[in-house]
């Protein structure tokens, strides 16, 4: 009997799980590699088992879908069809030839000091995304956290960042963050959304096809009311205040052109600001393999294949659109990979339902993107003295100088002139802000190593022929 | 209501860690950042340049703002590293190597 083909799936969130399950059910031996201790990704982030949570669903949405994924994963693992490598932090993928195996390099354990390599015939990249946060005075104060970060700490560690929280920025993530923090006992002093959510209603065609999403939106509205959370639409945080830690924020109203309304500024006392301005895809691993990007996301075809043979991608990495879209994309990717690895051409008719969901949810994501764009003129409002690159402590003024006086026209040149983007996070946090301030396009940074790697791990890699 | 109640958690026995020399309670399974948050601590690093305080920002291991020294080893991401009984956690000054 011949060995079954092998697929490595990077990322155990909705897209990676759906892909792993679809492939494992079709005769593929799957290795699921993920940085967390438990499957679920960010959307279904689980509390640590030692916390003994008997009702983790109180902090979650669409829990039944999670139960289905979790139970199917357990069945496939028990049957030896899926190997789940937890706490494995992937730093690089390489492929020596178009037909050769794909090697995944990872660091094991929370200390990330031990190198591990996994080889397979093909790979599915389900690396997810991370939050975009645009700077404002005071955004580096302790107590200012990303909206997703506050949610992750709540879901994973069952802790709150403080007692009185302002949730601010723009995007659909702010709703579950505000309701989730309130349900867990925080006082949410305000939900400050720079967009006008009513504008979504004007996108009738995209919405009409989404009865589920409409109901979800209505559900959040009801929960905000129940927790007494006041929503300030078309408002923005102008500054965060405090000495050593956050004590208050100033918010102001925006006019139709995204300018601050004179006289509208008011101060809200709080010890926590959970802020975010949408999401960006994680594309480092795809780029290292040579996959073409479209904007800031990995480009895929109708089968979720990248333009590098043997490399599939699904979920937020291919364009931010939420967990339901990630599930549909992952499912299609897993089925396509299984067929291709068995040397057959897949019949897309077999995944027609997932395909319809994908089309519908991508249209919805586009509508959300249009409505929840950062307010026009945000970059002009960042004072020269505000730190933009949090790692290297580079200010907005320095970035403006690099772009203006020194003529830098792209992120790389700004980085070389100012060090913005050269620190620990490798520009993931400051990239969008630097691009906005310098007036250059936000391009995905080329990062051959997706995370810091100990020199000992590099030295221990076998030499190439 | 608090998150432990809302998730009906029955955590294991509280252990003790130290933060800058003072004892703090911690729950097994929590990350260093979660234990510090639960104890009301929000800052545990000062930046290399201006010495500004920092703590958790992204909460998922991407931003490296929450770097901390644990058991003498600097540059640990507090949001990823699980807390262990008896951990000696210290505010990380600059690079954490005492060279500033």
* Domain annotation for chain B: domains and CATH numbers: 13-93 (3.10.20.440)
Residues A88 and A24 in one domain: yes
Written as one string, the DSSP assignment of B14-82 is: -EEEEETTEEEEE-TT-BHHHHHHHTT----EE-TTT--EE--SSSSSSS-TTEEEETTEEEEETTTSB
Q: Which of A262, A228, A231, A268 is nearest to A248 (CA)?
A: A268
Of A346, A368, A402, which closes a domain? Answer: A346
Per-residue pLDDT at A119: 94
Residues A47 and A112 in one domain: yes
Residues A101 and A146 in one domain: no
Residues A183 and A213 in one domain: yes
Evaluate whether residue A460 is within a structural domain: no
B38–A contact, CB cutoff 8 A: yes
Contacts of B34 in chain A (CB under 8 A): 153, 156-159
Evaluate whether residue A198 is within a structural domain: yes
Per-residue pLDDT at B1: 84
Residues A33 and A91 in one domain: yes
Residues A168 and A234 in one domain: yes
Number of domains observed in the structure of chain A: 3
| A 417-446 → B contacts, CB under 8 A | 423-425, 428-429
Residues A205 and A242 in one domain: yes
- The gap from C-alpha A276 to its chain's centroid, in whole angstroms, comes to 11
In chain A, the residue whose alpha carbon lies closest to the alpha carbon of B63 is A425
Of A230, A258, A277, which closes a domain? Answer: A277
Task: Note down the domain range covering A420.
Answer: 382-438
Model pTM score: 0.95
Residues A335 and A240 in one domain: no
Contacts of A157 in chain B (CB under 8 A): 29-31, 33-34, 37-38
In chain B, the residue whose alpha carbon lies closest to the alpha carbon of A148 is B58
* Best to test chain A binding among B1, B12, B29 (most A CBs inside 10 Å): B29
Evaluate whether residue A74 is within a structural domain: yes
What is the least distance, in Å, from the CA of A349 to any CA of chain B?
A: 38
Scored b (16 or more CB within 10 A) or e, B1-34 reads eebbebbebebeeebebebeeeebebbbbbbbbb
**Cβ neighbours of residue A342 under 8 Å, at least 6 residues apart?**
A5, A26, A27, A28
Residues A108 and A148 in one domain: no
Domain at A215, CATH number = 3.50.50.60
Evaluate whether residue A376 is within a structural domain: no
Residues A92 and A225 in one domain: no
B10–A contact, CB cutoff 8 A: yes
What is the least distance, in Å, from the CA of B22 to any CA of chain A?
A: 19
- Render pLDDT for A266-276 as a digit per residue (tens, 0 to 9): 999 999 999 99
Rounded average pLDDT over B73-83: 95
Rounded average pLDDT over B3-15: 95
| A 314-353 → B contacts, CB under 8 A | none
Residues A28 and A118 in one domain: yes
Of A255, A277, A299, which closes a domain? Answer: A277
What is the least distance, in Å, from the CA of A136 to any CA of chain B?
A: 14
Residues of chain A with pLDDT under 70: 1, 204-206, 464-465
Evaluate whether residue A363 is within a structural domain: no
What is the least distance, in Å, from the CA of B74 to any CA of chain A?
A: 11
B85–A contact, CB cutoff 8 A: no
Evaluate whether residue A453 is within a structural domain: no
Residues A247 and A204 in one domain: yes
Angstrom distance (rounded) from CA A311 to CA A217: 35
Contacts of B3 in chain A (CB under 8 A): 59, 154, 158-160, 184-185
Per-residue pLDDT at A220: 87
Per-residue pLDDT at A199: 80
């Amino acid at each position: 009997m011949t060995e079954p083909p092998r697929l490595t799936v990077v990322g155990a969130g909705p897209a990676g799980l759906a892909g792993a399950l679809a492939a494992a059910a079709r005769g593929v031996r799957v290795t699921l590699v993920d940085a967390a201790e438990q499957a679920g990704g960010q959307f279904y982030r689980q509390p640590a088992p030692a916390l003994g949570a008997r009702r983790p669903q109180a902090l979650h949405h669409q829990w039944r879908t999670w139960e289905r994924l979790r139970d199917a994963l357990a069945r496939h693992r028990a049957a030896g069809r899926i190997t789940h490598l937890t706490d494995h932090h992937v730093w690089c993928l390489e492929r020596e030839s178009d037909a050769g195996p794909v090697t995944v390099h990872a660091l094991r354990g929370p200390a990330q000091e031990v190198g591990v390599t996994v080889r397979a015939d093909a790979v599915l990249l389900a690396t997810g995304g991370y939050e975009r946060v645009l700077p404002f005075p005071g955004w580096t104060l302790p107590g200012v956290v990303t909206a997703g970060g506050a949610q992750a700490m709540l879901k994973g560690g069952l802790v709150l960042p403080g007692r009185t929280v302002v949730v601010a920025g723009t995007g659909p993530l702010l709703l579950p963050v505000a309701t989730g923090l309130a349900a867990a006992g925080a006082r949410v002093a305000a939900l400050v959304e720079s967009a006008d959510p009513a504008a979504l209603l004007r996108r009738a065609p995209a919405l009409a096809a989404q009865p589920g999403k409409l109901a979800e939106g209505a559900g959040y509205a009801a929960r905000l009311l129940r927790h007494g959370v006041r929503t300030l639409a078309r408002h923005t945080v102008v500054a965060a205040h405090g000495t050593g830690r956050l004590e208050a924020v100033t918010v102001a109203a925006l006019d139709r052109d995204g300018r601050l309304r004179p006289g509208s500024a008011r101060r809200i006392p709080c010890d926590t600001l959970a802020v975010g301005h949408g999401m960006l895809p994680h594309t480092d691993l795809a780029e290292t393999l040579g996959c073409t990007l479209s904007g800031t996301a990995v480009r895929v075809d109708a089968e979720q294949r990248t333009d590098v043979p043997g490399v599939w991608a699904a979920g937020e990495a291919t364009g931010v659109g939420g967990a339901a879209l990630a599930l549909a994309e992952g499912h299609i990717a897993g089925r396509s990979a299984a067929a291709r690895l068995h040397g057959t051409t897949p019949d897309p008719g077999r995944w027609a339902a997932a395909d319809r969901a994908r089309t519908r949810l991508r249209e919805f994501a586009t509508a959300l993107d249009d409505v929840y764009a950062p307010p026009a003129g945000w970059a002009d409002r960042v004072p020269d003295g505000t730190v933009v690159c949090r790692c290297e402590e580079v200010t907005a003024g320095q970035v403006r100088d690099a772009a203006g006086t020194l003529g830098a026209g792209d992120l790389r040149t700004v980085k070389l002139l100012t060090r913005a983007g050269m620190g620990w996070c490798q520009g993931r946090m400051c990239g969008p802000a630097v691009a906005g301030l310098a007036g250059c396009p936000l391009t995905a940074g080329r990062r051959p190593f997706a995370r810091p790697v100990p020199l000992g791990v590099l030295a221990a890699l076998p030499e190439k022929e | 209501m608090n998150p432990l109640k809302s998730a009906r958690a029955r955590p294991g026995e509280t252990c003790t860690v130290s933060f800058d020399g003072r004892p703090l309670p911690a729950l097994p399974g929590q990350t260093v950042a979660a234990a510090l948050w639960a104890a009301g601590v929000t800052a545990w690093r000062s930046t290399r340049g201006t010495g500004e305080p920092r703590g958790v920002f992204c909460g998922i291991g991407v931003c490296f703002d929450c770097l901390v020294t644990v058991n003498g080893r600097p540059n640990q991401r507090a949001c990823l590293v699980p807390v262990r009984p008896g951990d000696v956690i210290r505010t990380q000054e600059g690079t954490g190597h005492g060279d500033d």
